[in-house]
Amino acid sequence: HPVLVLNGPNLNLLGVREPGIYGRDTLAAIEARCHSTAAGLGLRADFRQSNHEGVLTDAVQEARTAHRGIVINPAGYGHTSVALRDALAAAGVPVVEVHLSNIHRREPFRHHSYVSGVADAVICGAGAHGYSLALTHLARLLEDAR
C-alpha cells in the first residue's frame, strides 16, 4: 500500500498565496518532491489536496485499509477540526503532521492544532522540505513497526 500525503484547504494556492510565509514552491512542486522522496525510501505516495473537511475526513477513513501511513498538512482545519482529529485517532496507522510555516511564531490562533494530539510527530517551519522530513520519519516508524 502507498502512504497518504493529505493536504488541506488553500494549499492548492501555494506559490501565489502569501509567498513570504509559505514560500514560492507550488503544490505540484511539493508533490513531485514527495514522489521522489518516497521512491528513495522504498515507498509510494498517494498525494491529495481538498478544500473540504468531509473529503479530508473520508480520505483519512479510507487510509485505515488503503494506506500504510499518513502525512497530513491539515492547513486551517488543524486549528478547528475535531472531526479530522477523530478520524486520525481511528486511522490505526502512523500519522505525521506537517506545516510549512512555524505556526508557533505566528498568530496565537495558529498555536493550537487538534491534529497534534493524535500525531506521532509534528514538523513545522521547515517549508516544503518538511514533507521530505515527514516521509523520512514515517518510513522509520513503518520500519520500527515491522
Q: Which among 35, 52, 67, 99 is annotated as catalytic?
A: 99
Residues 103-142 that bind ligand DQA (CB under 6 A): 103, 110
Q: How is the beta sheet containing 70-73 ordered, strand by strand?
A: 45-49, 3-7, 70-73, 95-99, 121-124
Annotation marks residue 52 as catalytic: no
For residues 131 and 33, the answer to whether their CB atoms sit within 8 Å is: yes
Phi-psi region of 18 (alpha: psi -120 to 50; beta: other; left: phi over 0): left
Under the criterion CB under 6 A, does residue 101 sit at the interface with ligand DQA? yes
- Cα dihedral 126, 128, 131, 132, rounded to 10, equals -90
Cα 15 from Cα 13, distance rounded (Å): 6
12 is in an annotated binding site: no
Annotation marks residue 22 as catalytic: yes
User: One symbol per residue from 62 to 81: x for binding ligand DQA (CB under 6 A), - otherwise; what is it?
Assistant: -----------x-xx-----
Stretch that binds ligand DQA, among 42-50, 60-68, 82-90, 97-105 (CB under 6 A): 97-105
Under the criterion CB under 6 A, does residue 10 sit at the interface with ligand DQA? yes
Residue 10 or 142 with smaller CB distance to ligand DQA: 10
Cα 45 from Cα 68, distance rounded (Å): 10
Residue 33 or 99 with smaller CB distance to ligand DQA: 99
Cα 139 from Cα 142, distance rounded (Å): 5
Under the criterion CB under 6 A, does residue 93 sit at the interface with ligand DQA? no
The residues annotated with a catalytic role in the active site are: 22, 99
- Binding residues, as ranges, are 73, 79, 86, 100-101, 110
